[in-house]
Structure 1
């Protein structure tokens, strides 16, 4: 198996790709080839940044020293169970479900922490529920997050059918 980039190299690849994409989008917008609102650009950028630095596919190695876990600061320990749940380059490194596993885990941990806080401190204010979000704002968020994940997988040499082939082989047995 070929060597894979370090966390720092993954981050540099994503930063470089984002820079090229942002410059191209800015140029295309100024030439009136596409229309991108500031809110769409912000959602894409926020999701791409979170996907690159906080929710990397390498969180499946969170028992060790992983850049993404370190970027969480004192809360980095919350990702250790994720690393124990998912084997490295397993489901967490698939193109569609892998990114969803990190979002689902983050949602679960948030509910768990808020629930514990409410048990200890019943007056703890609950986060406000989001109002319905339009697809014009949600789509750039999803694209930014998934693109950041896919760049990581491409750099690792993970093909889009990763995991599917293995599952298909198990079915054929």
Structure 2
């Protein structure tokens, strides 16, 4: 697949290549974090390492920016198995390489989409079987728990965007031009 950047055609990695890039980057990061922890330069709890790893893997394999192509064959959609069908509306809502490929809003749209699906399922369960006790999120949720999740998830997304040649101001430039009337 080729995508136009600044008037030129640039090759864009396949889903498999994106996954390999993220796996390689994770390997380097994990080795660096292990070394830094052993040198007492960094303190990482097992829970923080697990949260980072789970979020990074989810961002790499399940919540890729390419879910905006979910009407077609996308690796991330296939990784969801039969639940991949849930991502077709997301693909219809977002044009490929539009807001879903922005650095902050794009990953947030996928998190909000997952939250919406979870809320719908929870609402349906409560309606159909109100006696069922659903698990609750412990309150308050500490930053030391959430931060590794966010860093792992966003880092996996940003590596995908870097490989696609998407600049950090993607989407903002387009919105700015619309405001200025260009």
TM-score for both structures, normalised by structure 2? 0.91
Alignment partners' CA distance in 2, 1:112 and 1:127 = 15
What is the correspondence of 1:8-157 to structure 2 with a 5 Å cutoff? Answer: 8-157=16-165
How far has the Cα of 1:74 moved from its partner?
1.1
CA distances 1:116-143 after superposition (whole Å, capped 9, x unpaired): 2333333343332332221112111110
CA distances 1:12-55 after superposition (whole Å, capped 9, x unpaired): 00000000000011011101111111111111101000100001
Q: Any unmatched runs of 5+ in structure 1?
A: none
Q: Secondary structure at the match of 2:11?
A: coil
Alignment partners' CA distance in 2, 1:129 and 1:32 = 32
2:7 is matched with none
Alignment partners' CA distance in 1, 2:46 and 2:121 = 33
CA RMSD of aligned residues (A): 1.1
TM-score for both structures, normalised by structure 1? 0.96
Alignment partners' CA distance in 2, 1:81 and 1:48 = 24
CA distances 1:83-116 after superposition (whole Å, capped 9, x unpaired): 0001111111000011010000001011112222
Q: Secondary structure at the match of 2:44?
A: coil
Q: Report how many residues are paired.
A: 173
